[in-house]
Each structure stands twice: as structure tokens, then as C-alpha cells.
Amino acid sequence: MDLRESLEKQNEIVLSLFKHVIATTAAGKPSNLLFSPALLNVILSIIAAKSPGDIEKKILSLLQASSTDELNTVSSKIVTTVLADNTSSGGPTIAAANGVWAEKSEPVETSLKDIIENSYKATFNLVDFRNKADEVVEEVNSWVEKETKGLIKNLIPKNSVSPATDIIFANALFFNGRWDQEFNPSLTKDSDFHRLDGTTVRVPFMSGYSMRYDLVAYQGFKVLTLPYRGGRGDYGRRFFSMQIYLPDEKDGLPAMVERLASCRGFLSGHGDIPGNSASIGELKVPRFKFEFGFTASDALEGLGLELPGDTIIHKSCIEVDEVGSKAAAAAAVISIGGCFRPPKEKYDFVADHPFLFLVKEHMSGLVLFLGQVTDPSMH
């Protein structure tokens, strides 16, 4: 099983899912959005492991996996290798954790418990949903808050867990990376950001000039790659970056998302949209900070995956400034029963209108976070 190959297949649904997140939240109105494809794919993998039959087949089809064994192996490698902490070598601080809370009066299959503990490296807790559902919610929320360094609070709303609940599987991800080339705070200046409705808002923009930023110009949009410190190096080392997808048109974000979602392999670098490596003229990126929560199971229904008895809740937050970016996400399922080309043209990269962004590990292709900014002034 090749990890990168499996993740490339899983990445095929990421942008389609993003479209359904937009459609099922805020009635499809433009807003800042963020979720973790990495966490949601692990959640889907655990649902497949515990739901043999029709749901398992649908998840395998959606993630283009050959078996639940493949999904379990991929999830294990993500937790133990791709998302292993990189602080000691000067790279990003990363924390990823899985946890299970199971009703103590219901027998848990030994094989499922083994998979959860060994493949998913999850802490396993026997709890009393029948009499103390509210206390279990507090326990899960405290665990999530601790694992995300206090950034994600109250993941599971009160009254969303009943005495009929049998199991909760939760996962959490924390990422804190410094830019390989930090922005000079003295160059940060307020400027206009153009929202999708045609109005503008004044927000702080960071400016920079560096050969370490990679820019690729495509027809209709540009992609800026901002590497995190400790990323570049020998073959086989992880390389984390933030990529910003900026449409050429001020109101071009929806059309760009639609186009990218219909282009197979684009997130994995195999898309058929031609692009050229370019040098950077003016570079302006807004500072932004926001949080976002949604019911992921509603968005997954748009991909044809109905999960009767399962509710998936997801919450995330991000802060981007001159030094780097800090992001966290948590999700829970509550269950009942190329070669170098010299730059030819110079392009400005002024992100003064809505854009897409993602945080990615390049050796594996894992997308940790995916979001859009439609108004940097909104917290």
C-alpha cells in the first residue's frame, strides 16, 4: 500500500466536499470557512471499520480504497508519521490524537477495539452514556480542548448526546508553523479587501519580497506556496506549506472552486490545468483569524453518503500573521446502534479579494486544513 497513492485518491473528494460545506452552511452565503480533510477522512475510515455492509462499501467507494484494511493502514501512517511532531528538528509543532468513548454496558468487538487502539492509536474509554451522558460530553470536550492547546472549546454541544448513544469517536489536530521567510511587521499596512458582494473592508495586509516563495500562474488564477520553517531538505523529509489559491477576478472564487473540484488530481499535482512557474512582483496577503464549525454529516450527504445513526460534528480555527500560522481542528462522530522551468513572467500576488487556502504536507500529499477567506475582518 503506497501512502501517497492512497491519499491522492482520498484527495479527489476534498474540493467536492468543500462545495457541499459551502452549500449546507449559512445557506450557501459567502463566509470564511475551514475544515480538516485529514480528520474527516480518519473519521470516515473508523465508521467504515465499525459498519460492515452497505455503509462500509459506500465509504470505500467514496475514498477509492480497496478495503477497510487499507483505510486503517493509511490512518495509522497519518497519525504516527505524517502528523508526528516536528518541533525538535525546528519544524512545525504538530499534535494529532484520536479518542473513543464507548458505552460500558454494550460489548465492544475485540477486533474493533484492537483496530481502534493499534491502527488509530486511540485512547479507549468505557463510559456511562445511559445515566451520565452530559458528563461524557464534558469529558470529550475537555479532551479536545487539551489536545488542541485550548483552541477548540465545546466541540460537542450540550443535548447532542443522549442516553441512547453507544460510542463517540473524536479526533483532534493542532498545527503551529513559522514561515520559512517571515514577513516584516513594519511593512504591514491597512488596505482594501474586496468582498464578493462588491463592498470593501480595510484590513491589515502583510507584504514581502522573497525568492523562497513559489508562485505558479494558471489561466484564471494563481497559486502561492508559503513554506514553513524546517520543511525543505533531503528527500524523504516532510515539507509543510500553506498554499493560497487566488482567482484573477475579484469575484472569481466560486467559479475557481467549481473548476478545481471538477479537475481530477489537481490537489495532488496531477491536474490537466496548465500552469507556469513565475516570479513575484508585489506580494500582499491579509492577516486573518477565524473559527468555523459545522455538521459534517450534512455535507457528506451531498456526496451521496448517508450515515443513519451517525452524526459528525467538526470545528476548526486558524490564525495567520507575519510570523506564521496556528490552526486547530477537531471532529467527532456520535453513533447510535515536476521539473524546474525558469520564470518567464513576473506577477503581482495581491490577495485583496476572496481566496482559497490549504495547509499541506507535500511528501505524502496530506491536506491538513482547507478553507476560504471571504472577509479577513470577520473573526
With 60 as the cut, is the pLDDT of residue 323 above it?
A: yes
Query: For residue 339, what pLDDT is reported?
Result: 32
Q: What percent of the chain has a predicted confidence (pLDDT) above 90?
A: 72
DSSP string of 246-271, one letter each residue: EESSTT-HHHHHHHHHTSTTTTTT--
**Residue 187 domain flag:** yes
Residue 19 and residue 126 in one domain: yes
Query: For residue 167, what pLDDT is reported?
Result: 93
With 90 as the cut, is the pLDDT of residue 185 above it?
A: yes
**Residue 160 domain flag:** yes
Q: CATH number, domain at 152?
A: 3.30.497.10
Residue 358 and residue 256 in one domain: yes
Distance between the two ends of the chain, CA-based, in angstroms?
A: 41
**Residue 379 domain flag:** no
Residue 362 and residue 231 in one domain: yes
**Residue 210 domain flag:** yes
Tens digits of per-residue pLDDT, 136-175?
999 999 999 999 999 999 999 988 999 999 999 999 999 9
Residue 42 and residue 162 in one domain: yes
Q: CATH number, domain at 365?
A: 2.30.39.10
Mean local confidence (pLDDT), 101-116: 90
With 70 as the cut, is the pLDDT of residue 344 above it?
A: no
Mean local confidence (pLDDT), 59-63: 96
Residue 63 and residue 117 in one domain: yes
The overall average pLDDT reported for the chain is 90
Gap between the Cα atoms of 105 and 303, Å rounded: 35
Residue 184 and residue 263 in one domain: yes
With 80 as the cut, is the pLDDT of residue 117 above it?
A: yes
Strand partners, 290: 318
Residue 223 and residue 123 in one domain: no
Give the structural domain span for 90.
3-177+289-335
Query: For residue 342, what pLDDT is reported?
Result: 46
With 50 as the cut, is the pLDDT of residue 343 above it?
A: no
Residue 59 and residue 123 in one domain: yes
Question: Residues of 339-358 as b/e, b for ≥16 C-beta within 10 angstroms?
Answer: eeeeeeeebebbbbbbbbbb
Are 134 and 158 in contact by the 8 Å Cβ rule? The answer is: yes
Residue 355 and residue 272 in one domain: yes
**Residue 309 domain flag:** yes
With 50 as the cut, is the pLDDT of residue 190 above it?
A: yes
Please give the tally of structural domains in the chain: 2
Residue 111 and residue 77 in one domain: yes
**Residue 378 domain flag:** no
Residue 26 and residue 167 in one domain: yes
Gap between the Cα atoms of 196 and 190, Å rounded: 19
Residue 234 and residue 348 in one domain: yes
**Residue 105 domain flag:** yes
Query: For residue 208, what pLDDT is reported?
Result: 84
Tens digits of per-residue pLDDT, 226-280?
999 974 443 357 889 999 999 999 999 999 999 999 988 888 776 678 889 888 9
Pairing of strands 275-286, 346-350: parallel
- Which CA distances in Å does 361 have to 92, 163, 164? 11, 40, 39
